[in-house]
Amino acid sequence: MQETMLDEKESIFVFGASGHAKVVIDAIEKQGAFKIAFLIDDNKALWGQDFYGYPVYGGRETLVAESQEILTDRGIVAIGENNIRLKVAEWLVKNGFKLVSVIHPSVQIARGVKVGRGSVIMAGCIINSDAVIGENAIINTAATVDHDCAVGNGVHIAPGSHLCGNVQVGEGSLIGAASVITPGISIGNGVVVGAGSTVIKNVNENEKVVGSPARIVK
C-alpha cells in the first residue's frame, strides 16, 4: 500500500540550502509524507544550482513573482538561526504560503503531544506526554522534551539536550547542545543557554547563561 501511494505525496518546498537544510531534507525523505519539489534560498549564488539533489529555484521574491507557476504553496523553513527562521516564516505566511511540520520516523511521541506548523523534530528525539512544541521550532538530533513542557515559537533545542518535566522555553530561545534544563524551570524569550549547561534556576528574557550550574554571562 505504501509503494502505490508514492506519487500521491504532497509537494512542498524547502526554504534554505545550507547545512541545516541537509538534515531537514533527510527527515522529510524518511518521513515519507511529502515530496520535495524545489528549494528556495536568498543567496543568489545558489540559484539554478542543485543542492542535495534538488534544484534551488530562486529567492523569496521568486516565490511571489512566479506564484502562479509554482507547483506548491506549502513548505518548511530550514534555517538554523532562530531570528532569521522566524522572520522568513512570518514573511511566507504573510504572502499566502502554508507551513508544514516534519517529524523524523525514529522520533518517539507520547500521548497528548502537540507540534506547531513549521516545526521539525529530528532523528532520535523523544517527546513525552502532553508536551507542546510551538511553531517553527527545531528539536534537534537526540534531544528529549519531557512531560508537560512548553516549547515556544522559533525555539531551537540543540542536539543531545534534555528538558525535564514542566519546563517552559520562551520564543526564540536557544538551548545549547548537551544541556539539561531541570524540572519546572522557566526560560524567557530570546535566551541563550550555552552548550553543556545545567540550568537549575529560572532564566529571564534575553539573558545568556553558561556552565553547570548555569550562571548569567554579563
Q: Kindly report, residue by residue over 84-117, the tens digit of the pLDDT.
A: 999 999 999 999 999 999 999 999 999 999 999 9
> What is the rounded distance in angstroms from the CA atom of residue 148 to the CA atom of residue 128?
8
The DSSP bridge pattern shows strands 162-163 and 144-145 to be: parallel
Report the CATH superfamily, name and number, of domain 103-206.
Answer: Hexapeptide repeat proteins (2.160.10.10)
* Binding-site sequence positions: 18-20, 80, 156
> What is the rounded distance in angstroms from the CA atom of residue 9 to the CA atom of residue 134?
25
pLDDT given for residue 16 in this prediction: 98
3-100: CATH topology:
Rossmann fold (3.40.50)
pLDDT higher at 202 or 61: 202
* Binding-site sequence positions for substrate: 18-20, 80
Count of CA atoms in the C-beta half-sphere (13 A) of 217? 11
pLDDT at 160 over 70: yes
> What is the rounded distance in angstroms from the CA atom of residue 78 to the CA atom of residue 89?
10
> What is the rounded distance in angstroms from the CA atom of residue 8 to the CA atom of residue 48?
26
pLDDT at 65 over 90: no
* Binding-site sequence positions for acetyl-CoA: 156
Average pLDDT on 142-153 reads: 98
Domain assignments of the chain as residue spans, ordered by start: 3-100, 103-206
Residue 162 a catalytic site member? no
Q: Which of 85, 104, 147, 162 is the catalytic position?
A: 147
pLDDT given for residue 9 in this prediction: 85
**Average pLDDT, whole number, for the chain?**
94
pLDDT at 57 over 50: yes
Q: Is 37 left (phi over 0), alpha (psi -120 to 50) or beta?
A: alpha
pLDDT higher at 102 or 71: 102
Q: Which band of pLDDT confidence, cut at 50, 70 and 90, is reported for residue 3? A: very low
